[in-house]
Amino acid sequence: MFCHTLLRLLVASQCLGLHSIRISAQATTPTEFPKGWRFPLELSQGPTPNTGTYAGWLSVGAMRTVLPGHLRAGVLLAPGLFGSQATGIGGARLAWRVRTFTTTMGSWGNLQLAAEHLWSTQGTALVGGGLGFEAGEIILAGLKAYLPYTTTGTGPVWLQFSIGLHLCRGKASPESEDPFSNP
């Protein structure tokens, strides 16, 4: 509370000018995982150990920041390949920001823990997670492990590498009532 009051006094001070406004904005607004929506487009691919074949999908998702600066939650849909069979994939995803990478000019990326639960049209479900990296709030990369399971049992772990980008970041207006805007 004291720090918040002190920052307000600094902003109100005429002698500090724009410098104090910049300090106040950095201290109160998280630069990574800001409020609002993100729409990632990701290509995930890797081998499936049980058959020695390939599994991959191109997903489009919608992620909402639930806890600004820390947690995003969302859904994804994707066409994919399991071996030589085409399939549809959908599910839920959580991302928790673990670390922010900064320079003297501000943050340039973050490291996140991801958890996903996916279902395919072939009847296979995948539960898993891993590490994700986001650079400049645009570029995405990750390494995830999935445990496939069905009603008859589980299979060996799949490793998937993903690369992608955020399609759009929403609007910059904090006054907007639009649910897809970012303050």
Closest CA to 127 of 148, 144, 112: 148
Of the candidate ranges 32-36, 84-88, 167-171, the one whose mean pLDDT is the lowest: 167-171
Q: Please, are residues 61 and 44 in contact by the beta-carbon 8 Å criterion?
A: no
pLDDT number for residue 33: 84
* Separation between Cα atoms, residue 92 and residue 58, nearest integer Å: 15
Average pLDDT, the chain: 79
Decide if pLDDT at 11 tops 80.
no
Q: Where in the chain is the domain with CATH 2.40.160.20?
A: 37-166
pLDDT number for residue 53: 80
pLDDT tens profile 59-80: 999 999 999 989 999 999 999 9
pLDDT number for residue 162: 95
Q: What does CATH list as the number for 37-166? A: 2.40.160.20
Query: pTM for this structure?
Result: 0.73
Decide if pLDDT at 180 tops 60.
no
